[in-house]
Amino acid sequence: MPGYDPPVREMRFVLDTVAGLPGIAALPGCESATPDTVTAILEAAAGLARDVLAPLDQPGDHEGARLENGVVRTPAGFSQAYRSFVEGGWNGLPFAEAHGGQGLPLVVATAVAEMWTAANMSFALCPLLTAGAVEALERHGSEALKAQYLEKLVSGAWTGTMDLTEPQAGSDVGAVKTRAVPDGAHWRISGQKIYITYGDHDLAENILHFVLARTPGSPAGTRGISLFLVPKFLPDAEGRPGRRNDVRCVSLEHKLGIHASPTAVLAFGDEGGAIGFLVGEEQRGMACMFTMMNNARLSVGLQGVAISERVYQQARDFARERVQGGAAIIRHPDVRRMLLLMRSRTEASRALAYFTASCLDIARRSPDAARRAQAQSRAELLVPMVKAWCTDIGVENASLAIQVHGGMGFIEETGVAQHYRDIRIAPIYEGTNGIQAMDLLGRKLARDEGAAARALIAEMRALDAALAARSEDGFAVIRAALAQGIDAVETASASLLAIHAADPGRAAAGAVPFLTLFATVTGGWLLAKAALAIDDPARRLSARFYAESVLPQATALLPAITSGSTVIDFAPELL
């Protein structure tokens, strides 16, 4: 498989001009994010991604994780790579220094995480879940739990999991049956969880499971669920892993992709009940778990960005070298079209992910309460777009990369097929992309009657004057296409709000096209901002191609949104 060259220069450009890193670095607690420090971090991360993680990607896919006599083994080289990851302090990049972290902005950690994922998506899933566990424990855990476990999670010495799904429940979290019974100072957990990423492995000395379960007398549905921390090994008096808790990996899933990432079926309580500790308030588990889920949704969206970059590099390099008809295939117009489509959508999705992370930094760190609230509202609007749209793009770009390779792309040895297999899970886990669209419609757009959407639309329209002032080739095209796209977002938002007020079920029929429309236009806006920030013909080419070839597709979605359920309002028996 061809290697991976982390696009550090591109990342730094997007951090500075789109995500506004200089302004983020001026926020309280972000003072260490100086230009020199950020550059050094990106370059060091690039070395680990390029030289350590990427070479393990294809061998890890071939070998896969395996369960042997009750012990989960990761592929050769993974444990040594994880040791280097922990020793480098990479896991603690965005977390508080008080808990052993480095206190750097989330947006910097987001750029670094893109490199881990592009280099080796299976490996990167482990720290992804641990980061969510840190967020949940830091925000909702008792002081005793924080003192016992937080520093270990921040360092990555111990890893975390998110245990929601059960065989009978799927995405319906309210249907979980795992039970938690009080037993003195702790609880006894019993039940089964499936699809648990890194639910067991040999990378770290302990695993902390964050488990949703029902307590006695709790009401049905999500209101009756609580969150518990269940260690694989119970800490001894010195805080080291002690005796084994009553939790076992009973099997590993056989998956389409991410073969090196162990996806476990876990049994809790086969020998009397696993010892667990309540996180947050009883029957408030979903609120606590959403802290992990929102973190994970941004990270999963970033997987789409990362794989898009990886497959673009591979397809571009192949097209430069593959000779057909006496010339490299990159000379063929349709191949150039596919490559430019991949590149422009990768740049747009990266800009959207980094921009969203910067909003979260402001929401967490700004001393101005009004600015914090505005940034939080903006981030909540954007997170479902990042998760759904960026992962859809990752799948589409991986498919295009196979197409550029032709028959060679369908052959496993070239490696591009692995990326397609790996990224195909991203639109499914952490809430399917349809669920993300419903979240955008019901919890984000309708909740504030479109206020956050209107604020973003107004900010996008404000770029028009800057575009009008530029006479260079392409800016007139970008301006016109972006204006049409913004008009479509405004029309779609108003239409869905009216339909939702009358009949939420009818509005749901337009939720997915609405998310795609809104995210596509927001990506085009960010590409235009980037093109305005620097006199770079290549960047202007991406923005213009996107305006000519991608933005019109977004506008074409408008009828599917405004029609409500007129197209799909029929009896299911007709299918």
For residue range 325-376, what is the model confidence (pLDDT) as tens digits?
899 999 999 999 999 999 999 999 999 999 999 999 999 999 999 999 999 9
381 part of a folded domain: no
502 part of a folded domain: yes
351 part of a folded domain: no
448 part of a folded domain: yes
The pLDDT of residue 568: 67
The pLDDT of residue 122: 98
pLDDT at 9 over 80: yes
Q: Whose CA is closest to 450, among 483, 499, 485, 484?
A: 499
Residues 45 and 164 in one domain: no
Classified as helix, coil or strand, 192 is: strand
Residues 128 and 61 in one domain: yes
373 part of a folded domain: no
CA 508 remoteness from chain centre: 23
Residues 92 and 203 in one domain: no
Task: Assign residue 278 the CATH number of its domain.
Answer: 2.40.110.20
* Amino acid identity, position 215: T
| Mean pLDDT to the nearest integer, 464-476 | 93
pLDDT confidence band for 10 (50 / 70 / 90): very high
Classified as helix, coil or strand, 257 is: coil
pLDDT at 47 over 70: yes
Among 430, 472, 548, 573, which one carries the catalytic annotation? 430
Strands 206-214 and 158-163: parallel
| Mean pLDDT to the nearest integer, 111-118 | 98
Please classify residue 528 by burial: count the beta carbons closer than 10 Å to its beta carbon, then call 0-12 exposed, 13-18 middle and 19+ buried: buried
Of 267, 283, 299, the one marking the end of a domain is 283
The pLDDT of residue 335: 98
Q: Rounded to 10 degrees, what is the CA torsion of 23, 29, 32, 38? A: -50
Q: How far apart are CA 159 and CA 153, in angstroms?
A: 6
pLDDT at 557 over 80: yes
pLDDT at 291 over 80: no
Residues 170 and 138 in one domain: no
Residues 148 and 164 in one domain: no
Per-residue pLDDT reduced to its tens digit, 294-329: 778 999 999 999 999 999 999 999 999 999 989 999
* Amino acid identity, position 433: N
Sequence-ordered strand ranges (E) for 130-289 = 158-163, 179-183, 186-197, 206-214, 225-231, 233-235, 241-244, 247-252, 263-268, 274-279
The pLDDT of residue 173: 75
Residue in this structure with the two tokens 């305005």, named with its chain if needed: 532
pTM for the complete prediction? 0.97
| Contact indicator for 398, 420 with CB cutoff of 8 Å | yes
pLDDT confidence band for 18 (50 / 70 / 90): very high
The pLDDT of residue 456: 98
325 part of a folded domain: no
- What mean pLDDT, rounded, does the chain reach? 95
Task: Assign residue 44 the CATH number of its domain.
Answer: 1.10.540.10
Distance in Å from the first CA to the final CA of the chain: 42
The count of structural domains within the chain is 3
Of 125, 154, 183, the one marking the end of a domain is 154
Q: Whose CA is closest to 100, among 146, 48, 33?
A: 146
Phi, psi of 111 (to 5 degrees): -60, -40
Residues 562 and 436 in one domain: yes
The pLDDT of residue 46: 98
Per-residue pLDDT reduced to its tens digit, 492-521: 999 999 999 998 988 999 999 999 999 999
pLDDT at 567 over 70: no
Cα radius of gyration (the chain): 24
Q: What angle do CA 263, 112, 363 make, to 5 degrees?
A: 95
Residues 181 and 96 in one domain: no
149 part of a folded domain: yes
Of 350 and 569, more confident: 350
Strand partners, 186: 183
Residues 72 and 178 in one domain: no
| Contact indicator for 268, 274 with CB cutoff of 8 Å | yes
Of 154, 183, 205, the one marking the end of a domain is 154
Residues 187 and 118 in one domain: no
| Contact indicator for 228, 191 with CB cutoff of 8 Å | no
Cβ neighbors of 330 (< 8 A, separation 6 or more) are: 316, 319, 320, 336, 339
pLDDT at 145 over 70: yes
Residues 18 and 144 in one domain: yes
Range(s) of the domain holding residue 171 = 159-283
Q: Whose CA is closest to 525, among 351, 339, 342?
A: 351
Q: How far apart are CA 116 and CA 111, in angstroms?
A: 9
Long-range pairs for 79-88: beta carbons < 8 A, 24 or more residues apart: 79/202, 79/203, 81/52, 81/53, 81/56, 81/123, 82/123, 82/126, 82/156, 82/203, 82/204, 84/48, 84/52, 85/48, 85/127, 85/156, 86/155, 86/156, 86/157, 86/204, 88/44, 88/48
| Contact indicator for 245, 234 with CB cutoff of 8 Å | yes
pLDDT at 571 over 80: no
Lowest mean pLDDT, pick from 29-43, 160-174, 336-350? 160-174
Strand partners, 190: 179
Q: How far apart are CA 160 and CA 178, in angstroms?
A: 19
| Contact indicator for 478, 531 with CB cutoff of 8 Å | yes
Residue 87 is among the residues annotated as catalytic for this protein: no
Encode 368-385: b = buried (16+ Cβ within 10 Å), e = exposed: eeeeeebbbbbbbbbbbb
Residues 139 and 98 in one domain: yes
Residues 173 and 253 in one domain: yes
